[in-house]
Amino acid sequence: MANVLWLQGGACSGNTMSFLNAEEPTVVDLVTDFGINILWHPSIGLEIGDRVGELLRDCVSGKTALDIFVFEGSVVQGPDRTGMMNVFADRPMQDWVRELAAAASFVVAVGDCACFGGIPATAPNPSESTGLQFHKAEKAGFLGAGFTSKAGLPVINIPGCPAHPDWISQILVAVATGRAKDLLLDAKQRPSTFFTSYTQTGCTNVNSYAQKLDGHFGQRGGCLFYTVGCRGPMTRSSCNRILWNRVSSKTRTNHPCIGCTEPEFPHHDLAPGTVFKTPKFMGLPKEVPHGEHKLVYYFRAGMEKFLLPHNRTLKETSK
């Protein structure tokens, strides 16, 4: 039996909504088949009022074993690092986070805000938000670069805005069944099994990508990289391999990927007109795909754009 405690900081509950929709396995499966005991969760926990504080104190003291501490949302440190902008069970949430992370065998950050600070940590960041172990791409989050939980692992990051439900439930199963040490984590502490390939892997528009056929919102066919800012070639996620609701994904429905599993998310200042727009340099996308060398990409893409007959927009091809 693995005791799981789930708390929320600066959060919209999106990851909770996602988690409750998990299918393989479902939340009920976690409890009935995988030995997970949910000590408390903001949406499905049974205790209320003072009893919650008591439960948290028991976890901190070790009276109740805390196997997995899951945190959703940013760690709110404002104002002036007091944490008083986010008080829970009579204390700043940041104080609970520090003590519970130290008491837990494993710490799991769910969603971009808990992993990297996410939208709340975007400048000017009035709530002084940060992630559990990262602040954006820097390993400078709330718990510090050197943090490891009692089992000797750093924070396990499951990013996304929200994280895919099955990424959460499957990682919880791996940890609860003693396979956490087998999880390969990448440099951003994301489990490689979900975050090695790019979002583009499995996208139904990859032929259009290769042919540089420009697509647009909701329009069938055409790739969204060239005009409306799809980040599929620069984002590590399995959204097109493990489909959402087992049915589809953003890019399969012709909505650009906005790169929500990467630490730099949101990649724009969110000003109107910046989000769904491909930044260009001399007519070519400024950010190059798959970590390719910029000069190599520009040379190749430039040659293809001007010399090869297939480099047209969908409109031109349908004439």
Nearer to ligand SF4, 64 or 196 (CB): 196
In DSSP notation, 168-222 reads HHHHHHHHHTT-GGG--B-TTS-BHHHHSSBTTTT-TTHHHHHHT-B--TT-SSS
Residue 147 contacts ligand SF4 per CB under 6 A: no
**209, 285, 288, 301: which one binds ligand SF4 (CB under 6 A):** 209
Rule CB under 6 A: which of 167-206 touch ligand SF4? 199-200, 203, 205-206
Rule CB under 6 A: which of 241-270 touch ligand SF4? 249-251, 257-261
The sign of the torsion formed by the CA atoms of 256, 260, 263, 267 equals positive
Q: How would you classify residue 13: left for phi > 0, otherwise alpha for psi between -120 and 50, otherwise beta?
A: left
Question: What's the min distance (Å) between Cβ of 86 and ligand SF4?
Answer: 25
Rule CB under 6 A: which of 219-238 touch ligand SF4? 223-225, 230, 232-233, 235, 237
Which residues pair with residue 84 across a beta bridge? none
Question: What's the min distance (Å) between Cβ of 85 and ligand SF4?
Answer: 27
Nearer to ligand SF4, 57 or 268 (CB): 268
Give the residue nearest to ligand SF4 (CB).
232
What number of chain residues touch ligand SF4 (CB under 6 A)?
A: 24
Find out whether the peptide bond into 92 is cis, omega within 30 degrees of 0.
no
Residue 4 contacts ligand SF4 per CB under 6 A: no
Q: How many residues are listed for the chain in this entry?
A: 319
Q: Which long-range CB contacts under 8 A does 80-83 form with residues at least 24 apart?
A: 80/128, 81/128
The count of C-alpha atoms lying within 13 angstroms of the C-alpha of 139, restricted to the half-sphere facing its C-beta, is: 12
Nearer to ligand SF4, 64 or 248 (CB): 248
Question: What's the min distance (Å) between Cβ of 289 and ligand SF4?
Answer: 8
What is the distance between the alpha carbons of residues 313 and 223, in angstroms, rounded to a whole number?
A: 10
What is the distance between the alpha carbons of residues 161 and 167, in angstroms, rounded to a whole number?
A: 12
Task: Summarize as ranges the residues that interact with ligand SF4 (CB under 6 A).
Answer: 160, 199-200, 203, 205-206, 209, 223-225, 230, 232-233, 235, 237, 239, 249-251, 257-261
